[in-house]
């Protein structure tokens, strides 16, 4: 369960005397295994909301809860435990260029202190889930955009998180690869993972026909089951 209670985020903005209000009094409840699109124009606060969930930013006001844990109170030392529960995927993939698909996923496990035995078991398994078993030894420059995003999704999945946050994951992909990635996220959702997909892509949102939460200028302006993109 994810729970935002009266959450505001105000950044210190350089060179301006006005505060930068990125999120303004957000109240939100997300149940396990939901598939949510987070919509809204550029600057609406979508990425900020996701950053609060992985503990990369703290709220200025209010409370963010993940599985009964108040993220405001999580110390840096315990952040890795949160990161195991939440996988994150970005528009620009963020793969290590000098490592293969296999090694990119394995690296996330090494960094988290997993054993070689676990790595040897789990990496092939997640590469299989994302359909890349046959390209495990390819480097990022040998993979298409869609394949690179699959590696990033495999990496996000490797600790069996309860939630995947995807921030414009199809922003650098063509139409065909976009739908491949959306279908993969739907499959992962069906296997039991909550998905929060931040996107401005009207076609994706309208075709998904799932819950849509719309932000505008930091405010939650709409929250609809089977929503459509309206702005
Ligand atoms: N580190 C920061 N310092 C200051 N202001 C910031 C910072 N990060 C974001 N902002 C501001 O907060 C607001 C929300 O930004 P955010 O990145 O969350 O929007 P977004 O909805 O993800 O936009 P986009 O669709 O362009 O990715 C914007 O006005 C942005 O300028
Ligand atoms: Mg963003």
Of 37-46, 72-81, 85-94, 202-211, where does mean pLDDT reach its minimum?
Answer: 72-81
pLDDT reported for residue 6: 98
Residue with CA at minimum distance from ligand 1 atom 24:
42
Is residue 114 in some structural domain? yes
pLDDT reported for residue 12: 86
Domain span holding position 191: 2-224
Is residue 230 in some structural domain? no
In the DSSP assignment, the letter for residue 87 is E
Ligand 1 centroid to Cα of residue 89, in Å, is 17
Does the CB atom of residue 184 touch ligand 1 within 6 A? no
Is residue 55 in some structural domain? yes
Is residue 229 in some structural domain? no
CB of 169 closer than 8 Å to CB of 196: no
Work out the mean pLDDT of the chain and round it to a whole number: 94
Distance separating alpha carbons of residues 130 and 188, to the nearest angstrom: 9
Per DSSP (E only), the strands in 134-226 are 163-167, 194-198, 211-216, 219-224
Tens-place pLDDT, residues 159-194: 999 999 999 999 999 999 999 999 999 999 999 999
Q: Average pLDDT, stretch 42-53?
A: 96
* Neighbour count for residue 170 (Cβ, 10 Å): 23
Ligand 1 centroid to Cα of residue 48, in Å, is 6
Is the pLDDT at 27 greater than 80, yes or no?
Answer: yes
Backbone angles phi, psi at 57, to 5 degrees: -130, 155
Does the CB atom of residue 13 touch ligand 1 within 6 A? yes
Ligand 1 centroid to Cα of residue 77, in Å, is 26
**Strand pairing class (194-198; 163-167):** parallel
**Strand pairing class (35-39; 211-216):** parallel
Per-residue pLDDT band for 4 (boundaries 50, 70, 90) equals: very high
Number of domains in the chain: 1
Per-residue pLDDT band for 223 (boundaries 50, 70, 90) equals: very high
**Cβ-based neighbours of 53, under 8 Å, separated by 6 or more:** 2, 64, 66, 71, 86, 163, 165, 196
Is residue 8 in some structural domain? yes
Does the CB atom of residue 42 touch ligand 1 within 6 A? yes
pLDDT above 70 covers what percent of the chain?
99
Q: Average pLDDT, stretch 33-50?
A: 96
pLDDT above 90 covers what percent of the chain?
86
Does the CB atom of residue 83 touch ligand 1 within 6 A? no
DSSP H/E element including 178: helix 175-190
Per-residue pLDDT band for 80 (boundaries 50, 70, 90) equals: confident
In the DSSP assignment, the letter for residue 8 is E
Q: Average pLDDT, stretch 63-87?
A: 89
Ligand 2 centroid to Cα of residue 149, in Å, is 17
pLDDT reported for residue 79: 83
Q: How far is CA 209 from the centre of its chain?
A: 19
pLDDT reported for residue 21: 95
Residue with CA at minimum distance from ligand 1 atom 31:
43
Q: Is the full-model pTM beyond 0.85?
A: yes
pLDDT reported for residue 14: 74
Is the pLDDT at 61 greater than 80, yes or no?
Answer: yes
Is residue 203 in some structural domain? yes
In the DSSP assignment, the letter for residue 179 is H
Closest by Cα among 223, 86, 89 to 151: 89
Does the CB atom of residue 231 touch ligand 1 within 6 A? no
Q: Average pLDDT, stretch 123-144?
A: 97
Looking at the CA of residue 44, tell me the nearest atom of ligand 1.
21
CB of 45 closer than 8 Å to CB of 63: no
Tens-place pLDDT, residues 94-123: 999 999 999 999 999 999 999 999 999 999
pLDDT reported for residue 75: 85
Is residue 108 in some structural domain? yes
Q: Residue 197 is encoded by which pair of tokens?
A: 């997909």
Is residue 231 in some structural domain? no
Does the CB atom of residue 38 touch ligand 1 within 6 A? no
141: domain CATH number is 3.40.50.300
Q: How far is CA 135 from the centre of its chain?
A: 24
């Amino acid at each position: 369960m994810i729970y935002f209670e009266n959450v505001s985020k105000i950044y210190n903005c350089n060179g301006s005397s006005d505060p930068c209000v990125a999120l303004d009094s957000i109240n939100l409840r997300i149940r396990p295994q939901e598939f949510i699109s987070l919509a809204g124009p550029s600057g609406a606060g979508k990425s900020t909301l996701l950053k609060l969930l992985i503990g990369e930013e703290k709220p200025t006001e209010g409370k963010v809860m993940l599985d009964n844990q108040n993220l405001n109170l999580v110390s840096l030392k315990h952040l890795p435990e949160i990161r195991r529960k939440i996988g994150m995927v970005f528009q620009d993939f963020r793969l290590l260029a000098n490592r293969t698909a296999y090694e990119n996923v394995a690296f996330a496990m090494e960094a988290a202190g997993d054993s070689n035995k676990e790595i040897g078991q789990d990496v092939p398994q997640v590469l299989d889930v994302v359909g890349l078993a046959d390209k495990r030894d390819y480097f990022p420059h040998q993979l298409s955009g869609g394949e690179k995003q699959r590696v990033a999704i495999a990496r996000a999945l490797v600790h069996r998180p309860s939630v995947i946050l995807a921030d414009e994951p199809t922003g650098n992909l063509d139409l065909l690869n976009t739908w491949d990635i959306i279908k993969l996220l739907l499959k992962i959702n069906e296997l039991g993972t909550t998905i929060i997909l931040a996107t401005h892509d009207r076609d994706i949102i309208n075709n998904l026909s799932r819950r849509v939460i719309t932000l505008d200028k930091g405010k939650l302006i709409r929250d609809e089951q089977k929503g459509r993109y309206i702005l």
